[in-house]
């Protein structure tokens, strides 16, 4: 059966998430001692970029700190100098091998800012250039698609903001029952996704990262073109395509006005987790959906077409 590694790694998430934070708790307190910070800069690519989007909402909503998502080409292509106020620069890369993310941290560190690596790989380039390293300890990830490393990264970002804010509650984390619900719901939803075009993924706020990650997973695993939008931005034009034969995967509740136009609306399973932590739960549905649609199309997400596990860009 295709995607056995991806399925195994999806199912490992409840145990990995429960074990992770204890290992990096001391690092979080060290980072807090370097503050307070006037802004946050996040550098990432691919799935890590979607995790950074989640972090942006956390930092701005819970700490009131402005956040910028770095454009690495500012440094790697144009060799520019940017004058930031007292900054917390966070580089996110599961492999720790992304050269452009490391370049951003190197420049920020040289400018006297606090730098943090979030990675699954000790001894990587990213950890060598950062002041502090948060190792998510998800274990080896063999499938091309980031699953357990993605959710573990989300949790590390939540725990970092929790440490800095001293106000967020201890996270409520997914359990095996939620895993089963996501697989069952994804199995039902996979048929319409395979048969339809275009495919849209919608959400807002904390959940926008989940819409982005679901679209990415459908493209890389299932070869299904998918586009993510903020639910608000979708109303400003793209919904003109949401008619018969289209599908909307919604992490933002029911969309009856789209269903009335002939679009099939797939709602992700609901859970009672707080809004700030829902993306860690909801993305499991997106991962399951990508896996099962890949299988339905006879594709192996463990050996995704034209892709490698570690991608290096400058």
pLDDT digits (tens, 9 = 90+) for 40-57: 999 999 999 999 999 999
Q: Show which of 165, 192, 207 is a domain's final residue.
A: 165
Minimum mean pLDDT among 58-62, 95-99, 195-199, 247-251: which range?
95-99
For the beta carbon of residue 3, count every other beta carbon within 10 angstroms.
24
Indicate whether 307 pLDDT > 60: no
Higher confidence at residue 31 or residue 1? 31
User: Do 32 and 142 fall into the same domain?
Assistant: yes
User: Do 134 and 274 fall into the same domain?
Assistant: no
* Reduced 3-state DSSP string for 119-138: ECCCCCHHHHHCCEEEECCC
Chain segment 101-114, per-residue pLDDT in tens:
999 999 999 999 99
User: Do 193 and 123 fall into the same domain?
Assistant: no
pLDDT band at 308 (very low <50, low <70, confident <90, very high): low
For residue 266, the surrounding DSSP H or E stretch is: strand 264-267
Find the mean pLDDT for residues 232-251.
94
User: Do 91 and 192 fall into the same domain?
Assistant: no
Determine, yes or no, domain membership for 202.
yes
Determine, yes or no, domain membership for 272.
yes
Q: Count of domains in the chain?
A: 2
Q: Which of 151, 144, 221 is nearest to 186 (CA)?
A: 221
- The boundaries of the domain holding residue 232 are 176-298
User: Do 81 and 186 fall into the same domain?
Assistant: no
Share of the chain above pLDDT 90, in %: 89
For the beta carbon of residue 230, count every other beta carbon within 10 angstroms.
17
Determine, yes or no, domain membership for 314.
no
CATH code (residue 237):
3.40.50.10490
Q: Which of 177, 104, 90, 172 is nearest to 136 (CA)?
A: 90
Chain segment 176-223, per-residue pLDDT in tens:
999 999 999 999 999 999 999 999 999 999 999 999 999 999 999 999
Torsion of CA 97, 98, 99, 103, to 10 degrees: -110
Helix (H, G, I), strand (E, B) or coil at 80: coil
Determine, yes or no, domain membership for 122.
yes
């Amino acid at each position: 059966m295709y995607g056995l590694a991806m399925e195994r790694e999806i199912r490992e998430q409840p145990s990995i998430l429960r074990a992770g934070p204890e290992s990096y708790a001391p690092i979080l307190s060290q980072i807090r001692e370097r503050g307070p910070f006037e802004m946050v800069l996040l550098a990432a690519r691919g799935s890590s970029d979607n995790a950074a989007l989640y972090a942006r909402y956390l930092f701005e909503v819970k700490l009131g700190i402005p956040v910028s998502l770095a454009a690495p080409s500012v440094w790697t292509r144009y060799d520019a100098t940017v004058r930031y106020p007292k900054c917390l620069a966070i580089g996110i890369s599961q492999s720790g091998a992304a050269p452009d993310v490391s370049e951003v941290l190197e420049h920020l560190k040289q400018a006297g800012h606090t730098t943090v690596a979030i990675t699954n790989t000790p001894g990587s380039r990213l950890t060598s250039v950062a002041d502090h390293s948060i190792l998510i300890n998800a274990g080896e990830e063999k499938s091309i698609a980031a699953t357990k490393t993605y959710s573990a990264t989300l949790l590390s970002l939540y725990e970092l903001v929790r440490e800095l804010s001293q106000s967020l509650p201890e996270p409520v984390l997914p359990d095996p029952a939620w895993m089963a619900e996501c697989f069952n719901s994804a199995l039902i939803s996979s048929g319409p996704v395979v048969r339809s075009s275009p495919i849209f993924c919608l959400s807002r706020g904390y959940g926008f990262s989940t819409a982005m990650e679901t679209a990415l997973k459908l493209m890389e695993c299932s070869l299904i073109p998918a586009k993510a939008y903020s639910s608000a931005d979708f109303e400003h034009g793209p919904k003109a395509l949401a008619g018969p034969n289209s599908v909307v995967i919604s992490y933002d509740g029911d969309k009856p006005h789209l269903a009335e136009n002939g679009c099939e609306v797939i709602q992700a399973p609901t859970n009672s987790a707080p809004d700030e932590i829902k993306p860690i739960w909801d993305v499991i549905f997106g991962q399951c959906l990508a896996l099962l649609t890949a299988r339905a199309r006879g594709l192996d997400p463990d050996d995704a077409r034209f892709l490698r596990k570690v991608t290096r860009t400058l």
